[in-house]
Chain A
Amino acid sequence: MKTNASKTLKATAAAVAMAVSAMAAHAAAAPSELKIGTLYASSGPFAVASQGQYEGLKFWAAAINKSGGAFVKAYHKKIPVKIVAYDDQSSTSTATTLYNQLISQDKVDVLVADFGSVLTSVAVPLAAEHHMLLIDPTGSGANFFTKKTDYLADVSIPSSTVWPVPLANYLLQQKIKRVAIIYGANDFDASQAGTLKDVLGKGGVTPVYYHGVPTTESNYTVLLHTIAATKPDAVLEFGYAPNDIAFLRSLAQSGLHFNMTFSIFPGQLIDLMTKNVGAKGLAYTYTYPTPPLVKYAKVSYGMNTADFVKAFNAAEHKQPNFLDSAGYNTGLIVQHMLDTAPKFTQLDFHQALMDISGKTTTLLGPFKINENGAQLGQPFPVAQIVPEGSGTKFVVVYPQDKATGKAVYPAPKQ
């Protein structure tokens, strides 16, 4: 007993001594700037989305630096933020080298992943290997979040395992039985399609068509005819923005008509979609409406959605899209993490995120992560794009408490 107690005492003393010296060392070594490392894609299938996210993050950094920097609790002072960013051109192998560069050469304090599941996936094992917390803005692939980890946190988008649930419930509620699902064969779209299929299956609906296509698919003309041959009521297409554009264009030209058509990116990048597909091609399409289309007025941290839109507009002279908002939100969460973490270590950063989880609401909605790093908050409703004048508007149709109108179903032939 005695020896045990004294051992414990000794150990505690040693630990305290170490902690004190560590704190002293830290206090002495407070960095002159906070290095936030990230990647963006100037080209390739993820370029538009990635650049939006990156601009949002830069907008946050510029705003916080104007106020003297981010408050770091570990040092009790504000420290200016510096973003170190490289261009991975949407290539995972380039991204691997560059994530390595950020970790080993630039020795960044905070590591932020590029847009989307594909470019995030290569960073996940790297971050774990180097004991870095990976701040994952928009990588929602289900297979990232299969075990408990201290080194991964999805901060700005719901995990793919919860994301399509409202859509599935809506289909079940509307009693739409013949559902065709076509998805891009990548972590993001395949997880979406898989989750949707599962939830529909529990409701007794088996898709009449369920098929993956390469992420690079740019012509859906023939596929659409194969889908039409299964006589579906609803055709749900899960892709990245270029897929969604190609799908909706092919549909508009094909002479085919479905009662319901769904696609993801009209709700995130409406300007890009309208430019490429046209208002007519988008009419009556369903999508996930995202902030800033959906607005959160009451927030506990940072600007609310409407204020963000105004501020972003004033600074960048354009309307923010969802990915700008997601990038900005990522900055906000990092900021909150830094002003919460008592010590300047990656593990404390992660603990800080766990601490603010469930108690924080930002412009994207409630922030809630689980121990695997998956985002369970920030839910997306279902909306339909309906013509208005020469343009279009979004009508949220599900869930009931967020609905702004009723869906036009079946979609009228044009």
Chain B
Amino acid sequence: MELLEYAIVGGILYGVFFSLVGIGLNLIFGVMRIINLAHGQFIVLGGYVAWLVSRHFGFNPLWSIPLSVAGAIVVGWPLYAAVVPRLQRSDDPEMLSFILFFGIGQMIEALTGMAFGADQRSLPSEALGSGNIGVLGQQFPDSWWIAAAVSVSCILALYGYFSHTRLGYATRAIMADRDEALATGISVDRVSAIAFVAGLALAGIAGMFVPYLLGSVSPDLGGELTTTSFAIVIIGSLGNPLGTVIGGLVFGLGTMLMQTYYSSWSNVVPYALLLIIVLIRPSGLLGKEARHA
């Protein structure tokens, strides 16, 4: 019983964090129909920014959050301009973006490998509080709570952007129907670019917590993070950023329960969930449209 409570509390914390991990991927897909297969590598980059901030310069790793946002603007804007409009003019943007961003992901992985070496890097555990906080008698490290809190804040901020700002309305209009949005005079290109940058920034912020939640960060972690994000996004339904929260919670609870009771099978969880969802309900738990070929 104690173990079950532990798994559930842990699963919620873990799941909330993984919503943040997946949400950037979904935002970019929802707005641009572009699959950012380099998503995991961008998360890893965020992890290395945090590593530099704390291990190299000796600041609190939380400072990497504004840095990640700045980095996303510096990298994301030109990247958007260079590839996205070009991809959207092609006849199969989904598939071509899939391959192209895969290439970008490989380049990022190579560059992080050259810059930081292939070893696993961890962050000082004291930086986010060395104690632990208990709920229902279940102790979790401070870092897990902070990760969950930051994730919730980011998701709420995104929600606020969608529902209370003009750009947010425009974004939702584009997600609903791109052509119509174009026709009503929305500056699709500008709104898309903002969404693209925001997607990368969210990935970077999530990356900061990867060394805490997963133990360490290494260049080759990107691929696994991408597929996990993909699973979470598809569970929640592709193109619906808030559905990602449901996806994250399903993934988090599933993983923690498996780790507690059948730990040797826990690494199968995201892949099995993904496979089941795409075969049984390709539109995700919240989606409406079917996606059969």
Contacts and interface: CB of A to CB of B under 8 A. Distances in A.
A touches B in complex, CB < 8 A: yes
Interface of A: 42-44, 47-48, 89, 211-214, 218-223, 225-226, 229, 242, 245-246, 249-250, 252-256, 276, 278
Contact of B214 (A44, A211, A219, A276): A219
From B119, B141, B215, name the one whose CB has the most chain A CB atoms within 10 angstroms: B215
A249 B122 contact: yes
A82 B222 CA distance: 39
B141 A253 contact: yes
29 contacts: A43-B119, A48-B119, A211-B264, A213-B263, A214-B264, A214-B267, A218-B215, A219-B214, A221-B10, A222-B6, A222-B10, A222-B256, A222-B260, A223-B263, A225-B3, A226-B259, A242-B120, A245-B122, A245-B216, A246-B122, A246-B215, A249-B122, A253-B125, A253-B143, A254-B139, A255-B131, A255-B132, A255-B141, A276-B122
A249 B130 CA distance: 11
Nearest to B120: A242
Nearest to A182: B263
Contact of A43 (B118, B215, B260, B264): B118
A249 B215 contact: yes
Contacts of A211: 263-264
Contact of A222 (B117, B119, B263): B263
Interface of B: 2-3, 6-7, 10, 113, 117-120, 122, 124-125, 130-132, 134, 139, 141, 143, 213-216, 256, 259-260, 263-264, 267
A212 B259 CA distance: 13
A229 B2 contact: yes
From B117, B122, B264, name the one whose CB has the most chain A CB atoms within 10 angstroms: B122
A54 to B, nearest CB: 15
Contacts of A225: 3, 6, 260
B198 to A, nearest CB: 28
Nearest to B118: A43
B40 to A, nearest CB: 15
A254 B260 contact: no
A212 B122 CA distance: 23
A218 B139 contact: no
A302 to B, nearest CB: 31
B118 A44 contact: yes
A42 B215 contact: no
Nearest to B215: A218
Given A212-B264, A246-B216, A255-B132, A222 B7 contact: yes
A276 B260 CA distance: 26
Contacts of B267: 214
Given A252-B125, A254-B132, A219 B260 contact: no
Closest 8 A-B residue pairs measured CB to CB?
A43-B118, A218-B215, A255-B139, A253-B141, A222-B259, A219-B215, A246-B215, A255-B132
A253 B118 contact: no
Nearest to A216: B267
Given A42-B118, A226-B3, A253 B259 contact: no
A93 to B, nearest CB: 15
A242 B216 contact: yes
A219 B255 CA distance: 12
A222 B140 CA distance: 10
A218 B3 contact: no
A43 B132 contact: no
B252 to A, nearest CB: 12
A92 to B, nearest CB: 16
Nearest to B7: A222
Given A214-B267, A222-B7, A253-B141, A89 B215 contact: no
Contacts of B264: 211-214
A237 B6 CA distance: 22
Contact of B125 (A44, A48, A249): A249
Nearest to B3: A229
Given A254-B139, A255-B132, A226 B260 contact: yes
Nearest to A243: B215
Contacts of B119: 43, 47-48
Contacts of B256: 222
Contacts of B214: 218-219
